[in-house]
Amino acid sequence: MSFKIRLSWNRHKVFRALGFFPVAFTLGLMLWSAYTYAQSVIPLIWRSSMLLAGLCGTLTTVLWALTMWSYAICVFLGPGAPAGLAAPADGHYTRVSTVNGTLRSESHDGDSQHYADGNDSEYSDDEGPLTEEQVRRAELVYSITVRDNGQPRFCLKCNGPKPDRTHHCSVCGSCVLKMDHHCPWLNNCVGFRTQKAFVLFLTYGWLYCVLIFVPSVAFFFWEIAELSDDTEISINFIFLLIMSCVFALALLMFAAYHVYLLLTNTTTIESYEKNNYRVEARQRGTRAKYVNLFDMGPRKNFIQVFGSSWFMWLVPTNTAMGDGMRFPISFEGYNELRQNID
């Protein structure tokens, strides 16, 4: 028993240590891009216009700093863990699972609990039946979801309750509040406390790459057209041109996808696990639609992560609303779900 625990501890330490290689690569790439841009691109722009060179240099520096700030928060700030749990002071929701299957209801200790049969996955809660003590501890968490078997969500690895949208990360070795995914480029999980910084990192990183690529490609063709015996184009400049284009396209797709998840109040895990509530359509029995109870509308979803103070929206510090263990739900979707279950 003790040997297994020690082996697991060493495995997580090794994974975390190896995870700093992608982080070091990312930091090196950012430093190299800033150096190459200042050495190779800015002088070309300076020949054409000193004002344009100053403007491009200033904007690039600001975006580089904001990208690095956001990245540092994603790497070094913990995404949030379900610690210090206490019994809810008010109310109790009926727990509903979010997996695909046929909805059914069952009584448990006098409470009506509605859930669905589903398939196990990497983040599945069905790791075996819970003891009475574990069920009692899990009941202290203000939760509206259950395991696939209808029991309260409980992590047998951390030996603690799982609030809604919390998952266990096998790399970090702990449960993460509102876990989105584990990112190897961050050597950290994207979760409740770091979702805003991650979205800003993708956005600022994309803008930084675009601001590098556009003037670089413009003055590259200008240099080709004005090619003379004393014209030199460094290999670093060519690599910068290629890398900025590749990363601009990649970051655009990632940023667009995570903005979509943000505005629909969905995590990456919930999107591919189909962790939405399945309701049969009234028009045809063969069709079905998913109801995301956490989706409060784009504006409220945005404020839930970025906060209500607009002047902090561009700052990558944590301004998320709530504690990461309880989330407001859409009662319109909840009532629709209940009507289809009853």
Residues annotated as catalytic are: 183
Strand partners, 280: 288
Neighbour-count burial of 207, counting CB atoms closer than 10 A to its CB (0-12 exposed, 13-18 middle, 19+ buried): buried
Cα–Cα distance list, 63 to 27, 76, 249, 287 (Å): 15, 20, 17, 46
Neighbour-count burial for 169-193, b at 16+ CB within 10 Å, e otherwise: bebbbbbbbbbbbbbeebbbbbbbb
Decide: 271 and 261 in contact? Cβ < 8 Å.
yes
Q: Let me know: does 14 contact 171? Beta carbons within 8 Å.
A: no
Tell me the residue length of the chain.
342
Q: For residue 254, what is the DSSP state?
A: H
Q: Which residues of 3-25 are buried (b: 16+ CB within 10 A; e: fewer)?
A: eeeeeeeeeeeebeeebeeebee
Q: What is the DSSP string of 95-116?
A: PB--SSS-EEEEEETTEEEEEE
Residue keyed to tokens 């403007």: 55
Coil, helix or strand at residue 139: coil
| Gap between the Cα atoms of 39 and 86, Å rounded | 57
Residue 137 half-sphere exposure toward CB, CA atoms < 13 A? 17
Dist. CA 266–CA 276, nearest whole Å: 9
Give SS3 for 183. Answer: strand
